[in-house]
Every structure is written in C-alpha cells, then in structure tokens.
Amino acid sequence: MATTNAKAGGRVARSMEMYERLLELIPGGTQLISRRPTRFALGVSPVVATRGKGSRIWDVDGNEYIDWVSAIGSVILGYCDPVVDEAVKAQIDRGTNFSITHELELELAELLVERIPCAEMVRYARGGGDACAVAVRIARGSTGRDKILFCGYHGWHDWYQAANHSSDENLDEHLFPGIEPIGVPKALAGTAIPFPYGDLEALAETLDRHSGEVAAVMMEPMRSELPEEGYLEGVASLCRDQGVVLIFDEVSTGFRPSDAGVQPVLGVEPDMAVFAKSISNGFAMGAVVGRRDVMAPAEQMFVSSTYWGEAVGLAAAVATLTELRKRNTSETLARNGANLKERLNGVAADVGVAIRCTGIDYHPHLEFPAEDPVLNNKLGTLYVQEMAKRGHHGYTSFYLNEAQGEVEIEMAADAAREVFTMIAETIEDGRIDERLEAQERQEFFKRLVT
C-alpha cells in the first residue's frame, strides 16, 4: 500500500502537509468526526478545502470535486447559493448580534410553526448536538423525570454519551463501536438507555421496566429507508400511554424529505422535533420545536445562550426555508436521486458487478457484494479513492443538494463505470491491497436507523 506521507508528494500533497500541522494543533485534526480524513481515502481524498460553489468544492492543491457529501448534509441548495448568501450579507450590514431580541427570531418562529406539524413553540440553537441537548433538557423539565430512551445518533453531549457508562456496547449500533465516555460524569450512568429501531415489543418492555422514570423517547424517525408501516404510530402510542415526550431528531433528514421536514412524509406527529444542518444551507443554526404544553415550561428553565439569537443564522434559515418551498427543492432532490440510482445500477449491470445503489431517493447509498466486512470496507475504500481521482468527493453514500443536476449525475456515472470495472476485476483476482493507495477508511457511523 502506498504511503500517505505528505513528503511523498502526490495529488493532495499540500492537504496532507496541512493535515499533519492540524493534528499538532487540533485534537483529531478537525471539529467534526464525520469530517475526519480517515473517513474517506486518506492520502488520495481531499483534506483541506479553500472554497465551494454550487455542486463543487476546491481543495488547497487546486483539485476540483463534485461534493456528494454536501457539507455533511448541511448544504441543501448548493454552496454559496446567491439568494441565501445575499440575505446573509444584507444582515451583516445591519448587524449580527444585539442587546435585545431581533425581529428575525419572530419571523423564523412563525415560519416554523406554520410549516412543521408538531410546532407550536420554538427555541433556537447553533447546531444539531446543541438542539438535541436543549430538547432533552426541556423534556426533563416538563415531565420531572430523568431517563431518556434513545434510538439513533444524537450528538456529543453528556446526556447521550453517558449511555456507555452502563455498557460499553450501548452506542455500538447507534453511533459507532468502541466509544469511551471520557469526561462524561459516571453519575449519569443509567440515564440514557438505547432501544432497537423497528422493535415495538423491545421499546414497550423498556418503557415498562422504567415506568414513571422516562422523560422522553428521542429517535431518528428514519434515515435511508422508510420505516415499516405502523412502527412510528406504535412508538407514539406507547409514549402517550406512559406520559413520555416523543422527540424526533430530524437533524440529518432535515428538509430533504419535504419543505416541512419528515413529519408530513411519515404521517406521524411527535411532541417535539429537532432541526439543524439543512435548515440554513450551511450557516450555523438549529431549532427545537414542539407542542405548547411541552415547550412552555422552558420559560422557567435556564436554557440560554447569547448566540442562539444571532441574526446571521436566523437570516440564512428564513431565506433557505423560503427558497426550499419556492423552488420545490424536495421534488428536485427526489427526482435527481432516483436518476442517480438508476444510472449507477445500470452501470453496475453493464460492468457485471453486483454493486447496488439503493435507499431513499434523496440519500442513496451503495452496497458492495462482499460478505466479509473487512473486504467490504476495503472495496468501499477503493471506490472512494478512485472516485476522488476522478473528481468526485464522497462516502459510499450520497447527500444530494439542489445544485447537483443531470451534468453531475452523468459525470458520476462515467466515473463509476471505470471504478466499478476496477472493483469487478478486484473481486475476481483478489488484489485489493495492491490497488489501495489509501489507508482503509474508518467507518465511524454504524447507525441502527437505516
């Protein structure tokens, strides 16, 4: 396997040199685990960006890529969308943070309440993890209970990471294996309890076992596939019976399913919902919305931050949500995603390799034909590596944004034809290690919610 040492040069030499410096100054080299270079093809994939526009990003080595990660899902309209950016620039000229509430706080709250089914009141945050923590605090304060049952990934805060104090396997299927809750108070052990997605009996048993102690069920209602019919309705019913607050974490699904989030698509209304990422097309913003009887007690709670009402994020969110409805972005994403899946599956069939592109249209993913998980991950690394060489940055999944259209899909299909051919040859001759020029990627997120 080729070296990833920056001194060896190569197409991302400057990225790798800067990565070494980043590791010296920033623990982990970046602020977000999903952004770590080890999640891609380290030594071949880009590490450090300089700019983005539309569907594309450029790295410090001058390479141009179609970005199929879309800023970890936060960019939904495309990089530097002119309408959103103009709204932000105009707001900067008027001021960004004030000694009193800004009018945009009211405008965005009214927009969210009008659009999202469960929303009667609103609180803001600056990101998904913050918003989840705010929602948990409000649910605990509203019910007077301490325990949270969860399913899926809900951020880095103590309330969630404390799950692994009870068992070091509690987060294996919801986040990723091997997490040590370092820095999380051991006294929180037993306050965050996982349950498996799709199993109503398991949830009912867990709720009964902790009856009268559970403040909330926090869950990702879906990710890459629609839930089984009746499942979420059953979850909502169990929560009502136990007086438990049901919270949908819609940070990752966001406004891709519809311009009102995932609730209208699923037909199930939780008590609270959490948003971030695509709410503001890449600007820092998050929101917690919910029923009045659950949210109103937050007035008496110390849930407070100077920057939750900062006007740049508010302006970006108002502009983004307005544009999503005006442009009917969710239909565009669904149409383009269905097209992408069809094209990639057609390429795989032509090449004669059993790779499948499947999943929900706006967030499809690739499945490789290796049963051995080690080989499967190596094939995924080879795919990421070879697509990067051909100007496509991504995982083995796709976070679509509106700026990706027929041109980008055509380019992805052309590149995939060459890469799928190489993968087919690799499966045939077994020479995977010879073809890998990058370190085997680390698959951090092994979420149960697909």
Residue 378 burial class via C-beta count within 10 angstroms: exposed 0-12, middle 13-18, buried 19 and up: buried
Give strand pairing partners of 392.
66
Q: Which CATH architecture fits 97-309?
A: 3-Layer(aba) Sandwich (3.40)
**Angle at the Cα of 141 (from 137 to 147), degrees rounded to 5?**
70
The Cα 266–Cα 264 span in angstroms is 6
The Cα 162–Cα 159 span in angstroms is 6
CB–CB of 147/214 below 8 Å? yes
Give kind and range of the element (H or E) at residue 340: helix 329-351
Contacts of 291 (CB under 8 A, 6+ apart): 118, 120, 121, 271, 272
> What single DSSP character describes residue 248?
E
At residue 176, what is the residue type? F
The Cα 4–Cα 12 span in angstroms is 10
pLDDT of the residue at 164: 79
pLDDT of the residue at 167: 57
CATH code reported for the domain at 6-79+329-435: 3.90.1150.10
Q: Which residues of the chain are in CATH 3.90.1150.10 domains? A: 6-79+329-435
Contacts of 412 (CB under 8 A, 6+ apart): 66, 68, 340, 343, 344, 387, 392
Handedness of CA 201, 206, 209, 215 (dihedral sign): negative
Q: Which three-class secondary structure state does DSSP give residue 42?
A: coil
Nearest to 286 by CA among 137, 125, 138: 125
pLDDT of the residue at 228: 95
The Cα 156–Cα 130 span in angstroms is 9
pLDDT of the residue at 172: 46
CB atoms within 10 A of CB 97: 11
pLDDT of the residue at 4: 44
Handedness of CA 201, 153, 290, 187 (dihedral sign): positive
Kindly give the confidence (pLDDT) of every residue in the chain, 450 residues in length, as a single tens digit, with 9 standing for 90 and above: 333 454 455 899 999 999 999 999 999 999 988 899 999 999 999 999 999 999 999 999 999 999 999 999 999 999 999 999 999 999 999 999 999 999 999 999 999 999 999 999 999 999 999 999 999 999 999 999 999 999 999 998 989 998 878 655 555 455 545 568 789 899 999 999 999 999 999 999 999 999 999 999 999 999 778 999 999 999 999 999 999 999 999 999 999 999 999 999 999 999 999 999 999 999 999 999 999 999 999 999 999 999 999 999 999 999 999 999 999 999 999 999 999 999 999 999 999 999 999 999 999 999 999 989 999 999 999 999 999 999 999 999 999 999 999 999 999 999 999 999 999 999 999 999 999 998 888 765 444 333
Where on the phi/psi map is residue 161: left (φ > 0), alpha (ψ -120 to 50), or beta?
A: alpha
Q: What is the token pair recorded at 171?
A: 């987060």
Where on the phi/psi map is residue 113: left (φ > 0), alpha (ψ -120 to 50), or beta?
A: alpha
Q: Which residues of the chain are in CATH 3.40.640.10 domains? A: 97-309
The Cα 109–Cα 318 span in angstroms is 9
pLDDT of the residue at 178: 56
pLDDT of the residue at 175: 52
Q: Which 3-state string (H, E, C) describes 119-139?
A: CCEEEEECCHHHHHHHHHHHH
CB–CB of 383/419 below 8 Å? yes
Rounded CA Rg of the chain? 22
Contacts of 238 (CB under 8 A, 6+ apart): 200, 203, 204, 207, 217, 244
CB–CB of 268/236 below 8 Å? yes
Cα distances (Å, whole numbers) of residue 429 to 146, 416, 420, 443: 56, 19, 14, 25
Nearest to 42 by CA among 79, 71, 1: 1
Cα distances (Å, whole numbers) of residue 153 to 28, 218, 310: 20, 10, 26
